[in-house]
Amino acid sequence: MKSLPYFCRGEVIRGFGRGSKELGIPTANFPDSVVDNLPADISTGIYYGWACVGNGDIYKMVMSIGWNPYYKNTKKSMETHVIHKFKEDFYGEILSVVMVGYIRPERTYDTLEDLIAAINKDIEEAKVKLELPDNLKLRNDNFFTSAPTLPTTTAVVSHTVINGH
């Protein structure tokens, strides 16, 4: 995928409210404007990378892009699970991410427990892969230090601008 690493940011919106939080795996959803801006070579599936809320600390993340085949969604979503325990929700804030690598395609599972186990395995893989020197470097990219903190129309900067820096 020639577009990796891929930098993007956008407001955190409400998702399907399916209670991924109750599963212990909340995912911050991006609006359509961010999903529709994805380059064509970024296929659906599971990715790992770095994420930052507003201009807060930078944490490891895993992201799911697609139609969640287990739930048969009709709408393509882009959901980030930040690998950190937050004290509060951050709906309405700007989430900045860099997608660093691809883990696997999305698939369906026989049970919810199997889906959760797969996601937890993704999280473990992300933690290990992000420790590689080339991947650690992206954590320090000034993309994160220049993060806007308010949801404005300019917050959803097109990928050509961000990735052309």
The residues of the shown chain that bind ligand ADP, judged by CB under 6 A, are: 12, 14-21, 26-29, 81-82, 84, 86, 89-91
**Cβ proximity to ligand ADP, 27 vs 37, nearer residue:** 27
Element (H or E) spanning 5, and its range? none
Nearest distance from C-beta of residue 115 to Mg ion, angstroms: 14
Write out the two tokens for 37: 């801006």
Nearest distance from C-beta of residue 153 to ligand RBF, angstroms: 26
Site for ligand RBF (CB under 6 A): which residue of 52, 99, 122, 156?
A: 122
Write out the two tokens for 120: 């937890």
Dihedral (Cα; 75, 71, 82, 37), 10-degree rounding: -20
78 touches ligand RBF (CB under 6 A): no
Catalytic positions, please?
Answer: 79
Element (H or E) spanning 94, and its range? strand 94-104
Amino acid at 21: K
31 touches Mg ion (CB under 5 A): no
**Cβ proximity to ligand ADP, 18 vs 104, nearer residue:** 18
Measure CA 81 to chain center. 6
Residue 82 site contact among ligand ADP, ligand RBF, Mg ion, none (CB < 5 to 8 Å, cut-off depends on kind): ligand ADP
Nearest distance from C-beta of residue 105 to ligand RBF, angstroms: 8
**Cβ proximity to ligand ADP, 41 vs 86, nearer residue:** 86
Range 70-84 burial, b when 16+ CB lie within 10 A, else e? beeeeeebbbbbbbe
